[in-house]
Amino acid sequence: MALMALSGFEGFEKRLELQFFGDDPNIGIGLRQLHFDSIEEVLAAVQCTVVSAVGNHYFDAYVLSESSLFVYPTKIIIKTCGTTQLLKSIPPLLSHAHLMGLRVCSCRYTRGNFIFPKSQPFPHTSFRDEALYLEQSLPNYLCFRKACVMPSRMPSQSSWHVFSASDEHHIVLEQNLDVFTIEVCMTELDPVLGRKFYRRVGDSNSGDVAGKEMTGLTGIGEINPNALLCDFAFDPCGYSMNGMDGSRYSTIHVTPEDGYSYASFECVGSIEDDREMGEMLKKVVQVFRPATVSVSTTSCVGQQVWKRVKNALETVGLSCGSFAVDEFPSTGSIVFQTFTTSRT
């Protein structure tokens, strides 16, 4: 992972999700038609590159030098860490989509608190700057907009920053009423487990080969055994993984350095298999054994999912310290929970 700040590498990601629509109801491949050089153009604006990629019938997944990119026919998700300028991807993305006959219909931007906020470049210098940049970059017809900071009641833990925008026809995406997204941020990783995300001294393997070794060594491969994994190990340390399970993605990113260790996990699920999601969360926490965890759950299905999150994490020794909930255009409700554990 490149672009390390003088104070250390910024693990907390910025996440951008854009939904599109077109006149053709059978839009088919849609955004997956993007040429690789167009993807590279978008990522150059962000200041990151592709290091590995995989695809299936439903979407394409790219491991980036700074996290992940997922491309569906009518949806793009970009998640980047470090000092990347994620929001600068919006103008080229909208331009490429327009050439394909697609218009953006909703946007969601989320992030936690930066560990090294003073190292962030514009427009990520503050959430106010980010919200203003989003307001100016998105078309005016995305008229249902909301920006807020969902606080943690624990001063030592991250707050959750959310910007959401939608046009009048996509205030809630009805086809996704049973789908939820979970974003997990973990800090103060167990130092012994964190060492597993360092490459061996003298390791001459490629990042892909070393990544597969880390996946097996750490137990990440057991989190969702049904998923096709695309994993990558950075030199001298750090790890990224994208998982593909049918139309659903999962992703993990790890910054293991002492003093600012961080790991994230994100996945998509449905209300029909939320019990399985709880088991996955327990496995994730056991891989890293973090001292602090924050979880954002985005859904339109009410309380069932976030309660499952709380129950799952409490069974592995984490205590819920704060809870916040709010409603956003095009996404339904976002529940933000923070958890801590005591180490002896």
**The one catalytic residue among 13, 17, 188, 266:** 13
Residue 257 is among the residues annotated as catalytic for this protein: no
Is residue 72 within 8 A of residue 79, CB to CB? The reply is: no
Any residues with CB less than 8 A from the CB of 105 and at least 6 apart, and which?
Answer: 19, 20, 21, 142, 166, 167, 169, 170, 330
**The one catalytic residue among 48, 65, 66, 67:** 67
**The one catalytic residue among 52, 119, 240, 299:** 240
Residue 247 is among the residues annotated as catalytic for this protein: no
Residue 152 is among the residues annotated as catalytic for this protein: no
Long-range contacts of 89-94 (CB under 8 A, 24+ apart): 89/16, 89/42, 89/43, 89/45, 89/46, 90/16, 90/18, 90/134, 90/137, 90/138, 91/45, 91/137, 92/38, 92/41, 92/42, 92/45, 93/18, 93/42, 94/137, 94/139
Is residue 20 within 8 A of residue 74, CB to CB? The reply is: yes
**The one catalytic residue among 52, 66, 81, 300:** 81
Is residue 253 within 8 A of residue 81, CB to CB? The reply is: yes
Is residue 127 within 8 A of residue 161, CB to CB? The reply is: yes
Residue 253 is among the residues annotated as catalytic for this protein: yes
In which element (H, E) is residue 80 found? strand 75-80
Any residues with CB less than 8 A from the CB of 260 and at least 6 apart, and which?
Answer: 8, 9, 11, 115, 116
Residue 13 is among the residues annotated as catalytic for this protein: yes
**The one catalytic residue among 48, 237, 253, 264:** 253
Q: Say which DSSP state 29 is in.
A: T
As a whole number of angstroms, the distance between CA 267 and CA 270 comes to 10
Residue 41 is among the residues annotated as catalytic for this protein: no
- Give the residue numbers annotated as catalytic, written as ranges: 10, 13, 67, 81, 240, 253
